[in-house]
Amino acid sequence: MTNPERDQYLVIAGTNKAGTTALFRYLGDHPAVAVSRYKESRFFYRHEGDGPSDALESYRQQFLRDGSGGHVCVEASPTYLHGGRAIAQRIHQVIPECRFVFSLRNPAARVISYYKSAYGQPEVATYGVGFGDFVTRAVAAAQVDDAELDSVSPDDRAFRQELTMSRYAGFLRQFLDAFGADRIRVCFFDSLTTDVACLMRDLCGFAGIDPAFYDDYEFRVENQTRPHRHAGLRRLAGRMNYGLEPLLNRFPSIRRAARRVYDSVNVDRSAEIPIDPDAVAQLERFFAPANAELAEIMASHYPGQPLPDWLKPSAATGTGSGSSAPC
């Protein structure tokens, strides 16, 4: 049995394509953690009308309980970051002591990852659009005032949204205003590729759980962006994954076995998705002011925390990784 008064809540609240699935899986393996039935519960988008007491009890029901004593409840809804002040305040009303992890990624690299993940999907706006054209249209749409968005095509508005989601500073500031820096840990996708063990020790300290669990832990790559052979099979697999997600989250070995089977059937490891380097440079120029604002926030609220290369003013621009490990 679990004690509701002992429960603590840790929300991986952003951002998309920045390793949130990996963090959710790694933390979910820890015996002190109870994960949500669905990785992305999006609970606070769905229960905005509930009173705080009713909402908290409903939220508790989102987590898998197996009698092991897991008291740190973890979910990963990356879209919470982009809900900004409204979502931050809603969560604060229900769980004022909630802790957050925001995993952020070089915005240009995040947009590239989005484009690759959507590549070849007929139902997505980027279908049939080359990367250079996608970036040009997205940047142009981003220059349009919100009041004049009716003049922008639906596809270009979708492209614009991807750029908006990658300007993290404004969203992060609203969560800091609601919860304060001591309840928010900002980490970087770069650390997942350079020193994930160090990152997990830091997150264990933040969550108040034993970091020794990860001393001999096998860190598997999770949710890697790869081209797919058949869009229809990918959609079918996605629907099946959603329907079975509570079972797969309870039994990770089954999920890993199913992933191996799917990859062998529908992942095209030889496919190359063309990425125009001039378009990448255009993205980097576009994001430079937002990155500078984020660097100022980090210096103000987290002085001394190492930053990745893309947040260092003196570093050359690029979509590669740089050291940002906290230890």
Tens of pLDDT along 120-161?
777 777 878 999 999 999 999 999 998 898 999 999 999 999
Strand partners for 72: 8, 33
For residue 268, the model assigns a pLDDT of 64
Domain extents for the chain? 1-106+166-223+288-327, 228-270
Architecture of domain 1-106+166-223+288-327: 3-Layer(aba) Sandwich (3.40)
Positions in the chain whose pLDDT score sits under 50 = 1, 315-323
For residue 319, the model assigns a pLDDT of 45
State pTM to two decimals: 0.85
- Please confirm whether the linkage preceding 79 is cis (ω < 30° from 0): no
For residue 234, the model assigns a pLDDT of 66
For residue 325, the model assigns a pLDDT of 55
Q: Which two tokens stand for residue 93?
A: 């009303």
204 close to 72: Cβ distance less than 8 angstroms: no
For residue 249, the model assigns a pLDDT of 76
96 close to 55: Cβ distance less than 8 angstroms: no
For residue 86, the model assigns a pLDDT of 94
